[in-house]
Amino acid sequence: MSSEGALENPSLFEDTPTTRAGQIVLAEEYLALIREHRPSSAATVKSHVFKLLYMALAEYTDLRSALGSVTSIEDISAVVEQLLARERAAAAASADAYASRCDSTDAPFVSWYRRHRGTGGNEPTGGEEECAEGCAEGRTPQLETD
């Protein structure tokens, strides 16, 4: 049951909550490991990066598209470096939000593991029109409980 959560937050077993700032640090560590150990499968690396940086990729859709189209580990690393530069700048401007836990119903960002849970409910707020509009703008729809 923990494998899904560990894909996004490998420090899960250290009792470290998922935060957007924490994901920046984990992605930097992951890039260092990739460079040191040279995995044979770029597809596996790309899959891990999509999960690890889900919150950032939901915001920076241009880099999400770029990451989806690259096929080499070097190109994946280059896209991730661009993303991390944007994330560091955004974290400096919104330190409190980036340090906030992303595993609660009032979290400022929706993590990969909680993407289907939203704020804990089963129905999108605002109906299908708002959901389609938000998804088209790259925002993750939020869900509410009754």
Residue position matching structure tokens 């499968």: 41
Q: With a cut of 50, say whether residue 52 has pLDDT above it.
A: yes
**CA quadruple 43, 49, 54, 60: dihedral, nearest 10:** -90
Question: Tell me: the pLDDT tens digits for 90-140?
Answer: 989 988 878 776 666 666 566 555 555 654 433 333 333 333 344 444 444
In this prediction the pTM is 0.68
pLDDT tens string 72-101:
999 999 999 999 999 899 989 988 878 776
